[in-house]
Structure 1
Amino acid sequence: MLRKKRTRGPQGSCSAVAKRGFTLVEVVAATAIAGVGIVAAMSTFGAMNAAMARGLETEKMQRIADEKFDEIVATGEVPNTPLSGEVTGTDFVWNAESATTATENVTELIVTVRRSAGREDSGIEVRGLVFILPTSTGAAGGTP
């Protein structure tokens, strides 16, 4: 039976092979790999933050468009010509216009909200049908 001999160096310590730690090259390689991982994680966090900001902005524009649509319907002032304006406290602008439909006294109302500057494709559009009461002209037909 063969036994493996342990060799002892000076002062009774184990040989250089037995007490070997990390070399400088291994430390540099591990640091580089860790650095690449950290950079990848940080860029992922940046992309997630940008996506979240776009989502919040889209949600805010949707709420503004819904509110403006409801306001126009509630006041009964469906525009014959396009209306527009700025949303106070934001960098959004709104636009409202109407389109005729095949049904009498029913108009399609289109409200669009978008950024006042920047991306043109970043708008939100809300569409809906609005019934407009016919205005009576002349005397009512009936017996007095």
Structure 2
Amino acid sequence: MLNNERNKRRSRRGFTLLEVAVATAILAVGISMGMGALSSMSNTEVRARQSEKMNLLAVEKMHEILGLGDVVNQQTEGTLEDYGEPDLKWTLEVAASGTENIYTVRLTIEKDNGTVSDPSAEVSTLLFVPPDSTTSGTGATGGTG
């Protein structure tokens, strides 16, 4: 009788092979999901940094363009090699705003040969060009917004 009770206690002490296999499978699924989440967070951080850098470059390039003066007759596209980013391109659009002597200036920065899912940055502002400066090509004021 004592041996029988001792055997029952011994058989209840450990885990069965099936329990260990199920626990291992659950642990493996949890670890793989955690690694996937970390990878996704890392990719999101990289995209956020790229987007922030592109926004800062867009503002800086807009200031440069506005500082040159004759925005209406300036170059409308180029690369950002001067800023150490040869794989980024910028595009400038100048359009009449509907109000006399006021133009909408829009600068877009995106990856050269990029895809739709790549980050991009856009900065726009209104620009007042005094009536006499459209013929002489001097003096323009504006700000980014």
Question: What TM-score results when the alignment is normalised by the length of structure 2?
Answer: 0.77
Mapping for residues 1-144 of structure 1, pairs under 5 Å: 7-9=1-3, 15-19=6-10, 20=12, 21-80=14-73, 83-88=76-81, 89-90=84-85, 91-120=87-116, 122-135=119-132
CA distance in 1, matches of 2:33, 2:74: 52
Question: Which moved further from structure 2: 97-106 or 36-45?
Answer: 97-106
Identical aligned residues as a percent: 36
Q: Higher relative contact order at CA 8 Å, sep ≥6: structure 1 or structure 2? A: 2
Question: When you count helix as a share of all residues, which structure comes out higher?
Answer: 2
Question: Helix, strand or coil for the counterpart of 1:16?
Answer: helix
**What is the CA–CA distance in structure 2 between the aligned matches of 1:85 and 1:8, rounded to whole Å?**
91
* Distance in 2 (alpha carbons) for counterparts of 1:123 and 1:80: 25
Give the deviation of 1:82 after TM superposition.
5.4
SS at 2:33 equivalent: helix
The alpha-carbon deviation at position 135 of structure 1 amounts to 3.1
Number of corresponding residues:
128
Tell which structure's C-alpha radius of gyration is larger: 1
